[in-house]
Amino acid sequence: MSLLKQNITAILDRASRLLVEQGHQGYIVGGFIRDWLLGRGTNDIDIAVDGNALDIAREVAKGLGGKFVLLDEINRIARVVVIEKERQGGPPQNLQFRGAKWHLDFSSFWDTIESDLARRDFTIDAMAVKLGHLGADIPLKLIDPFSGKEDLKNRTVRAVNERIFEVDAARLLRAVRLAAELDFTIEPKTESLIRRYSQSIVRISGERVREELLRLLNLPRTAQHLRYLDALGLLLALVPELAESKGVEQPTVHLWDVFEHSLQTVAAVEFLIGENDWEYGSKDILSTVPWSDAIARHLSGEVSKGSNHKTLLKLAALLHDIAKPKTKFVDNAGKAHFYGHTKEGAAITAAILNRLRFSNKEINLVKSLVYHHLRPVQMSNGRELPTRRAIYRYSRDTGDVGIDILFLALADYLATYGSLVDIEEWKGYCQLMNYILMEREKQQANVLPMKLIDGYDLMNTFGLTPGSLVGELLALVREAQASGELTTREEALTLVRQELNKRQFEAN
């Protein structure tokens, strides 16, 4: 048995003794048993107890030196957080180890453990072991009324009964996410149940949808999972705005309609960031993609709880053309245009994510990705590289998502042409992105940190008072500095003097 398992077994044994002292019995249930049997590590343990779980959890928290957290007062669910530290010695009741943080979630059952398991969602989560009976020297006495162990062996996600989705519609998403995490298959009858209840997903809270959706987006093969959600009727139930994109044809350079192009963009993102292969990808395509440890760290950086830049980049890839059906215009020559689809798409995206209770930080990030996804190409003039001023404005306007937008633009390009990608044209496209990245980094590292003048200089030299004009003039100086047009304090003051004279002339 691994040290990690020894540690959690010792903690659970102590918890068992604490329950016995209170005159109660407990059972380890749910995902921990599943993961234990699969040999997967997890720090979350569900414990069902034959009494008031809130009172029991408080006593266990005291006995283990942990923290009591109330999760659901109505349904009597509480968490005990145990943080392992270096072992101090002493009697067993002072059990402490160096290691991870454990979450022991307590809930109540009032009949038998079998009846409690019958209320759970999937057979692989409807198994139990008596608390204190999980250890290397104890034969595993598994309580398994629905053959969950057999379904684990067969790598199958199966509903415990036909009412599980009627009781809790969040299980519709959880079934797909669980199958994706474990690389299992949802058995046909459970698939049919998901299709039957798919529209019920709109009844659950946006917060729960967000949590499940983010966990799914965090996994490799996201495009495949999104396609499966669509086949089950869940994707359009969650994001009905995507329905209009099905069958919307695009100009001849596009290989797919808007909906398929969006899914392929997600797949292309995964390919570009090294998360998954893409059926239209190749080593030649990947070899010229800008990449570095700094980019990898950025994309892995947390945005909000449960999300990072990489996860939200995939989400933006799905939604980046959400407004194309609404903005489609066919000219007299029969050519389709989508004027304003980025601006309109950003607004629609914000509404979708607000409905699904994403954080303001997440919404603003994805909204910016959708709004600016054409910006990198628009900065270049034909085959010419963008000016330093254009790159400064790009960095100023996109902030922390400037890198993300470049990867969305690259994925958008690949998902436009698919197997018809011209390698030489692609190399030029990657050269553009590399140049933007390098010049952006150079400006941020070498040019902009060197402040030539500040607000006090402007007020003292030109007799200005604090206000928006001072900010506008400083922004003008920073832009000229970034573009290499000025490098000294005197040049900066001259620029400001010229701007003030110009404004005075225009005012007269």
pLDDT in tens, 95-120: 444 455 889 999 998 889 999 999 99
Among 131, 150, 169, residue at a domain's last position: 150
pLDDT grade for 135, boundaries at 50, 70 and 90: low
Same domain membership, residue 354 and residue 250: yes
Q: What are phi and psi of 283, to 5 degrees?
A: -65, -35
* pLDDT at 65 exceeding the cut of 50: yes
H or E stretch including 189? Answer: helix 188-197
* Averaged pLDDT, 423-452: 89
* pLDDT at 51 exceeding the cut of 70: yes
Same domain membership, residue 217 and residue 107: no
pLDDT grade for 192, boundaries at 50, 70 and 90: very high
β-pairing, 44-49 with 101-108? parallel
Name the token pair of 223: 């495009």
Same domain membership, residue 220 and residue 255: no
Q: Look at residue 382 in the predicted model and tell me its pLDDT.
A: 63
The number of domains in the chain is: 4
Share of the chain residues as helix, strand and coil, in percent rounded to the nearest 5: 60, 10, 30
Same domain membership, residue 263 and residue 222: no
Same domain membership, residue 353 and residue 207: no
Task: In whole angstroms, give the CA distance from residue 409 to residue 437.
Answer: 13
Q: Are 29 and 47 within 8 A, CB to CB?
A: yes
**Among residues of the chain, what percentage have pLDDT more than 90?**
71
H or E stretch including 211? Answer: helix 206-217
- Residue 353's domain comprises 246-447
Q: What are phi and psi of 278, to 5 degrees?
A: -135, 135
Q: Are 488 and 452 within 8 A, CB to CB?
A: yes
Report in angstroms the alpha-carbon separations of 190 from 144, 157, 160. 19, 8, 9
Same domain membership, residue 190 and residue 90: no
Task: In whole angstroms, give the CA distance from residue 61 to residue 79.
Answer: 9
Give pTM, 2 decimals.
0.87
Same domain membership, residue 309 and residue 419: yes
Length of the chain (residues): 508
CATH number at residue 106: 3.30.460.10
* Averaged pLDDT, 275-300: 95
Same domain membership, residue 250 and residue 209: no
Same domain membership, residue 260 and residue 206: no
Instruction: Supply angle C-alpha 86, 92, 94, rounded to 5.
Output: 50
* Averaged pLDDT, 424-442: 93
Handedness of CA 246, 191, 28, 129 (dihedral sign): negative
Same domain membership, residue 281 and residue 380: yes
Same domain membership, residue 396 and residue 296: yes
Same domain membership, residue 462 and residue 438: no
Burial of 114 per CB tally in 10 Å (0-12, 13-18, 19+): middle
- 């519709």: which residue's tokens? 172
Among 238, 267, 287, residue at a domain's last position: 238
Which amino acid does the sequence have at 30? G
Beta bridge partners of 143: 128
Burial of 36 per CB tally in 10 Å (0-12, 13-18, 19+): buried
